[in-house]
Structure formats: C-alpha cells, structure tokens
C-alpha cells in the first residue's frame, strides 16, 4: 500500500522573503524586533506561517499572505479573523492577538503554542485523544453575535461535485472517472445515485453547532496535557457530527482505522440517520473527486493529490454503507 501524500504544500515563504514593509509592520504589531523564526511544516496554505521569537523574549505565531502566493489566501485569512471573534473560550484554539489588512497583505498574529501533529500513521493514544477532543468540540456553540454562516451556505458551491461530473461531456466524464481506477467503474454505474444523495446534504448537515470544517492531522497540535485545533477559516454552523465525518477519511487514509467503525463508535454519532450520513459522505466524496481533477491551485502543488487520496477513502466508506 502506498503511503498517503503529505499534507504540506512545500511553498512557504521565509522571513527574508517578506517585503521589508511587511516585516516592519509585523515587528510593530508584535511590539518587538524579530530575532528568529521556526516555520510551520504542515498545512496547505501558501505564504508565511511561522513562530517568531521576539527580542523581548516573547513568541508569536504569524501568518502573512497576499494574492501573489494564492488568490484565495487573503480572503481565507480575513475569514479567520471573523471566526476568531466567534470562538468561545472552551474551544482549544490559539488566541488571535492582532491582525492587519492593507488590502494587499493580510497578517494575523496568534499566541504561540507548542505541540506536535499526531504521529503518522496514527497511533492509538493520539487517535483516542483527538476523537475525545472532537466530542467536546461538537458541544461548542459560537459567541453571539458572530459573523458565522451556515455550512449549507459556505459549502454550497463546493458540494456539487457529482452533479458537475454528471453534467460534463461524456469524453471528459470518462477521462475523469478513469483517474479513480477500479472505483471509477463503480462511480460510473452509480453516478445518478451519487448525484441524488449529494443533493440531500443541506438538510442532513443543518444545525447550530460550531463546525471547524477542515479537520485533519495537520490541523491538530498535541501537547502532553493539551490539544490545540488550528486553522479555522472554513468554520461555519452545522450539525455537531460533521467534523467527525469530515475528518475520518483522512484518519483512515493515514492508518487510523476504518472510518465507518470509528464513526459509529463515537458518541457524537448517536441519533445520526444513516441516510443523512450517506448524503454528507456523497457530497464530501464528490467534492474531493471533482476538485482533484482540476489544475493545482497557485502555490499549492500537492493539494490535488491529497484530495484524490481522500476521495478514494471516502468512496470506500460510502460503498460500505448498508
């Protein structure tokens, strides 16, 4: 079995890569000159992401992005500013200390936290800790008022993958399905079903819980007695079991166990209708399958390969549903 693709874009900027004005603004916002950096080594977001050690002995984790690295990155950073104001204290997210947006560069300064991403392939202790943290996260509700939107709004255009594939010309569709190997034949035989299941995802996913929306091992940091969940720009409101369902394909892909077994063993799955899970998984699989066939986004060369690997595992889970 081939190892899964790494969750890292490999296109991060260093401190010296940042324009002088951006470096000066970061030092001003941080309140001290920067003496050293430790770059983040996981995640897909291009741009600058590093823990900065300051001349006064303090540390801050800084993200700095512009459209030059990726056209969508500044808007995602702006969204993360909105989300930070909505997170309740019990959510284990690093606190946003300050931000800056000059229309070109968006800069965010978070409290610096220590920790390591879960071991890959997953070990039992790390997995148990993360799944327990997801239980607590499912119970969280955002502060009020907030600028969060329902996930049925934020993911509306993303969760139409099977319908997009079905609407494509036959030659294009056949080429797309061929990328999925043996699974492509199953997709072709069930494409109408997949599109129908996918169309029911908004009713299945509706809710008022805080949904991170992009949980994977690379968005979790483990300390001996604490877990941090990072990178929140995709946060929305939805059903409390969505983060578990969204994360499990990557967990299975990275050796953590079968997604279906882990889902139904977790107490947050209690009361979830099998049809609702089918609709959400169909939408998620369609998103990964469709997106993985598109050209790589600017500055994120590895994303499509990672999405195709997630599509495979999500399709297998969907295939196993009774």
What is the tens place of the pLDDT at every residue in 184-223?
999 999 999 999 999 999 999 999 999 999 999 999 999 9
Mean pLDDT of 82-106: 97
Q: Say what the pLDDT of residue 99 is.
A: 98
Into which CATH architecture does domain 12-111 fall? 2-Layer Sandwich (3.30)
What does the alpha-carbon distance between residue 191 and residue 187 come to, in Å, rounded to a whole number?
A: 5
Question: Is 70 exceeded by the pLDDT of residue 1?
Answer: no
Name the residue ranges covered by the structural domains of the chain.
12-111, 124-320
The reply to whether omega before 177 is within 30° of 0 (cis) is no
Residue 186: CB atoms within 10 Å: 16
**pLDDT for the residue numbered 6:** 78
Report the C-alpha gap between 128 and 134 in whole angstroms: 10
Cβ atoms of 44 and 70 closer than 8 Å: no
pTM of the model: 0.95
Average pLDDT on 30-43 reads 91
Q: Do domains 12-111 and 124-320 have the same CATH topology?
A: no
What is the structure's pLDDT at 50? Answer: 95
pLDDT score of 310 more than 70 = yes
Indicate the pLDDT class of residue 2, thresholds 50, 70 and 90.
low
Please state, as a whole number, how many other Cβ atoms lie within 10 Å of the Cβ of residue 227: 19
Domain 124-320 = CATH 3.10.105: no
Q: What is the pLDDT of residue 10?
A: 59
Chain-centroid distance of CA 270 in Å reads 24
């Amino acid at each position: 079995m081939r190892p899964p693709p790494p969750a890292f874009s490999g296109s991060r900027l260093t401190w010296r890569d940042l324009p002088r004005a951006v470096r000066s603004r970061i030092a001003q916002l941080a309140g001290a000159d920067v003496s050293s950096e430790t770059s983040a080594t996981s995640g897909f977001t291009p741009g600058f992401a590093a823990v900065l050690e300051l001349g006064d002995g303090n540390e801050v984790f800084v993200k700095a992005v512009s459209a030059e690295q990726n056209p969508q990155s500044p808007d995602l950073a702006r969204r993360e500013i909105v989300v930070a104001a909505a997170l309740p204290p019990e959510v284990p997210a690093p606190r946003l200390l300050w931000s800056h947006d000059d229309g070109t560069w968006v800069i965010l300064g978070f409290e610096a936290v220590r920790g390591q991403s879960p071991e890959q392939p997953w070990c039992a202790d790390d997995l148990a800790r993360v799944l327990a943290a997801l239980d607590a996260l499912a119970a969280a509700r955002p502060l009020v008022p907030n600028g969060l939107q329902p996930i049925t709004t934020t993911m509306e255009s993303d969760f139409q993958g099977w319908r997009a594939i079905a609407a494509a010309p036959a030659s294009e569709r056949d080429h797309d399905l061929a990328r999925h190997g043996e699974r492509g034949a199953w997709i072709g035989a069930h494409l109408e079903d997949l599109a129908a299941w996918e169309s029911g995802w908004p009713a299945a996913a509706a809710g008022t819980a805080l949904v991170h929306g992009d949980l994977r091992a690379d968005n979790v940091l483990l300390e001996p007695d604490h877990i941090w969940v990072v990178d929140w720009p995709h946060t929305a409101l939805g059903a409390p079991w969505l983060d578990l369902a969204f994360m499990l394909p990557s967990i299975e892909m990275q050796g953590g166990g079968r997604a279906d077994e882990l889902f139904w063993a977790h107490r947050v799955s209690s009361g979830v209708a099998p049809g609702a899970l089918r609709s959400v998984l169909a939408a998620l699989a369609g998103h990964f399958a469709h997106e993985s066939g598109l050209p790589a986004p600017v500055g994120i060369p590895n994303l499509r390969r990672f999405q195709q690997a997630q599509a495979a595992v999500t399709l297998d889970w969907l295939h196993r549903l009774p």
